Structure 1
Amino acid sequence: MSPDTTRVLGQIERGEIWCGPDAARALAARAEEQYGGAWPRPTADPAPPAPDGPE
């Protein structure tokens, strides 16, 4: 194991770094609150698919 890996794993074990899915969700929620959505949400249902052509 590299020295950097050992250092980072130690930081995670000691609670100095918060990582994983829960941390990602919390950071995303905070960014959403501060800056709004990264991807605009559609305001209406998308148009139905075009027909395949004559049958």
Structure 2
Amino acid sequence: MSPDTERVLGQIDRGEMWCGPDAARAIAARHEKAYGAVFGRPAAEDIDAARADALAPITGDGVE
């Protein structure tokens, strides 16, 4: 294992970091409480359109 892997696994073992499905649910619940039900949006019908919408604020005009 790399030193980084050993460090992260040690943090998990010591309880310094929380990971896994329960952690993901807790984080999602906190975000939903703070920002609204953004996780309940319908899935994108067209992945290319969804990607362009996501990149538009970064590129200024979407992806060509």
TM (norm. structure 1) is 0.69
Letter paired with 1:26: A
Q: Does 1:4 find its partner at 2:4?
A: yes
- For 1:1-55, list aligned pairs within 5 A: 1-39=1-39
Equivalenced residues, count: 42
Distance 2:40 2:26 in 1: 20
Counterpart CA distance in 2 for 1:39 and 1:19 is 19
In our comparison, the structure showing a higher alpha carbon Rg is 1
- SS of alignment partner, residue 11 of structure 1: helix
Counting helix residues as a fraction of each chain, which structure ranks higher? Answer: 2
Letter in 2 for 1:22: D
Q: Which amino acid aligns with 1:21?
A: P
CA RMSD between the two structures: 1.7
Please list every run of at least 4 consecutive aligned residues from structure 1 whose deviation after the TM superposition is greater than 4 angstroms: 39-42
Name structure 1 gaps, 5 residues minimum: 43-55
Measured after TM superposition, the shift of residue 15 of structure 1 is: 0.1
